Amino acid sequence: MSNESTERKQSKQDQLIIFDTTLRDGEQSPGASMTKDEKVRIAKALQKMRVDVIEAGFPIASQGDFESVKAVASVVKESTVCGLARALEKDIARAGEALKPAESSRIHTFIATSPIHMKMKLRMQPDDVLAQAVDAVKIARQFTDNIEFSPEDAGRSEIDFLCRVIEAVIDAGATTINIPDTVGYNIPHQFGGLISTLLERIPNSDKAIFSVHCHNDLGLAVGNSLSAVLNGARQVECTINGLGERAGNASLEEIVMAVRTRQDVFACDTNLDTTQIVPCSKLVSGITGFPVQPNKAIVGANAFAHESGIHQDGILKSRETYEIMRAQDVGWSDNRMVLGKHSGRNAFKSRLQELNIEFATEQELNEAFSRFKDLADKKHEIFDEDLHALVADTNWAIENEHYKLVSLRVCSETGEIPNASIVLEIGGEEVSASASGGGPVDASFRAIESVVNSGTQLQLYSVNNITSGTDAQGEVTVRLEKAGRIVSGQGADTDIVIASANAYINALNKLEKNIDREHPQLGDV
């Protein structure tokens, strides 16, 4: 890279824009679909963390997606709210409509530019793709001046064509150029090189911010994004906990903390309030039912736990011997015990407010408070994590009335076959059943299925303890598949068999809500 172009890049490099796509690409993880209210809760948490741009969804995908983007656009005031649109007039108009209430909005339009996507998916000639990209940006300008353009599969596109398309869309008014490694194929030095080549070769590159959007198929999404930043990218697209299509996207927490921790290497920084990272991670994990692996950087339960005696000794003498970040700087707090059996409604409500959790109605709050009281009878200390799980359960209890667990009794004894007897309320009527199984959870699922006959396949069953101790709540995730549709259900209880049954029923209720949505990257343009 020449000195001159390095200087040009560095003159803009104080701020690294964080573009969060948890609500759009994150939701493309099979089974991670979120309701409108859940998206609004996450969007508020992202705003509190000072994320610059929140991609709230793909408005043309379904009526639900449209409503969600509109709802996020209505409540978020301090971050820019973005909607995704293929390079089609109908998509762009729908995004423009959904974003109307936003204080600051962005339309993100895209079309594939790699030879394989143009030939096999779009069945279009490169010149027609270029013309459609330019038209899309011009149409988007009728709605906003803040336009992002992505040449999908840029990571496998031919450089000359990529340069032509980008130059043309900047001329047409695109203000951010996002370079996606759609299939996670790139390697850090190569992807960084791509960014510096684009910045150098495209004559009007200084008229736009260059962004990257990396997928994690080879586990390189964060590495590729950081390499791009070192080479002049000034926006990174990422998701909380690295959620996203297939192996996911670059994880926000890793990008932000790498840049913040290594200010000796990066000549830019984000505006983020990093103390919101862990609460946000827990919120997203609780809502989507995608657990965070314990050894996950920054947000995993073990990220700051020092097991070996040598490390513990070093930490006691001087924290920096083995710690490069402070746990409290990313939102881990020691003072986690919040409420108990004797806490009243006001204490409960004000703690929820501190956690950024609001209820739309008094009925929802009452329902949550009554669950809190039940929980406090079983469990001495109620932590923030318990409250998140409890609130997630409450929302589902209210939204999904079709199947309800009335009671469950399980028998599990050494040498005996476990048996479960269940009473379900289905569409207002009580139905009982019992079944045997390999264990109490298996027996409970069989009992539920003996009355529901859902025709689903169990794809995943996982249990996590929300906090520590044997009285901790178990948080269960169940992923069910039916005719290509995948849903995740969650349940939390101090009794993991009850949590499991609730998770299973939660997934069945989600399947009941048969919402069809288009996928942004499949189908014709």
Q: Which H/E stretch holds residue 181?
A: strand 176-181
User: Site map for ligand KIV, 465-504, x if CB under 6 A?
Assistant: ----------------------------------------
C-alpha to C-alpha distance for 129 and 116, rounded to whole angstroms: 13
Full DSSP string of 431-498: EEEEEE-SSHHHHHHHHHHHHH----EEEEEEEEESSSSTTSPEEEEEEEEETTEEEEEEEEESSHHH
Structure-block tokens of residue 155: 């990571």
Shortest spacing between CB 245 and ligand KIV, in angstroms = 7
Residues 6 or more apart in contact with residue 53 via CB below 8 angstroms: 17, 18, 19, 20, 79, 80, 81, 82, 106, 235
| Tokens representing residue 137 in the block | 């940006």
What single-letter amino acid sits at 509? N
34 vs 392, which CB is nearer to ligand KIV?
Answer: 34
Binding mask 15-54 for Zn ion (x = CB under 5 A): ----------x-----------------------------
Four-point Cα dihedral 74, 79, 80, 82, nearest 10:
-70
Q: Which residue is nearest to Zn ion (CB)?
A: 25
- Check binding of 379 to ligand KIV (CB under 6 A): no
Q: What is the DSSP secondary-structure string of 51-71?
A: -SEEEEE-GGG-HHHHHHHHH
Residue (184 or 491) nearer to ligand KIV, CB: 184
Q: How far is the CB of 55 from ligand KIV (least distance, A)?
A: 9
| Least distance from Zn ion to the Cβ atom of residue 213, Å | 6
Residue 64: name its binding partner from ligand KIV, Zn ion, none (Cβ under 5 to 8 Å by kind): none
Which of 223, 222, 213, 285 has the alpha carbon at shortest distance from 245? 213
Figure out which of the listed residues 9, 94, 213, 282 binds ligand KIV, where binding follows CB under 6 A: 213
User: Scanning residues 105 to 134, which ones bind ligand KIV (CB under 6 A)?
Assistant: 110
184 binds, among ligand KIV, Zn ion, none (CB under 5 to 8 A by kind): none
Return phi, psi of residue 485, to 5°.
Answer: -90, 135
Q: Which does residue 110 touch among ligand KIV, Zn ion, none (CB within 5 to 8 A, set by kind)? A: ligand KIV
- Number of residues in contact with ligand KIV, rule: CB under 6 A? 10
Residue from 18, 22, 25, 500 binding ligand KIV (CB under 6 A): 25
Amino acid at position 377, single letter:
D
Asked if 502 and 478 touch (Cβ cutoff 8 Å), the reply is no
Tell me whether residue 213 or residue 379 sits nearer to Zn ion (CB atom): 213
Q: Judged by CB under 6 A, does residue 520 bind ligand KIV? A: yes
Complete edge-to-edge strand list for the sheet that includes strand 474-482: 457-465, 474-482, 485-493
Distance CA 186, CA 382 (A): 45
Residues 172-191, mask of contacts with ligand KIV (x by CB under 6 A): ------x-x-x---------
What is the closest distance, in whole angstroms, from the C-beta atom of residue 54 to ligand KIV in the complex? Answer: 15
Residues near Zn ion (CB under 5 A) are: 25
Binding site for ligand KIV (CB under 6 A): 25, 110, 150, 152, 178, 180, 182, 213, 215, 520
